[in-house]
Amino acid sequence: MSKNLYYKNYPYSRGQLTFFAKEIKEAGGFDELMIRKQALEAREDSSFILTFDNIEEYKEKYLSGVYETLCPFFNTKVPYSFWSQLYIAIKRKKELRKLL
């Protein structure tokens, strides 16, 4: 079992960080992935952070599979704030930065 890497209050596994880095790369960048994950909305020349009143519905849709163990730590109506912590954790790990 891989050791969890704690950043702030989130226990990320190496697998989660690696998977997220690959998602970012496939999407073409962090903001593009956040649009796919409905954490950002692109309008004209700007991006807007989205909020969700029903966080259980959001978790069911976007925190499945590799991210499922993070569900108890997702307690925000602002998904961008959750995903950005995962992004920061990747940026702090030298070996994972190469994946971006």
Q: Domain-by-domain residue ranges, the chain?
A: 10-93
Name the amino acid, one letter, at 18. T
pLDDT, position 11: 83
pLDDT, position 98: 73
pLDDT in tens, 47-95: 899 999 999 999 999 999 999 999 999 999 999 999 999 999 888 877 7
Q: CA–CA separation, 91 vs 85, rounded Å? A: 10
Q: CA–CA separation, 31 vs 19, rounded Å? A: 16
Between these two residues, 14 and 31, which has the higher pLDDT value?
Answer: 31
69, 12 Cβ separation under 8 angstroms: no
- Token reading at 82: 């959750």
| pLDDT score of 1 more than 70 | no
Long-range CB contacts (within 8 A, 24+) of 25-32:
25/99, 25/100, 30/87
Nearest to 10 by CA among 65, 60, 83, 66: 83
Q: CA–CA separation, 5 vs 29, rounded Å? A: 23
pLDDT in tens, 21-57: 999 999 999 999 999 999 999 988 888 999 999 999 9
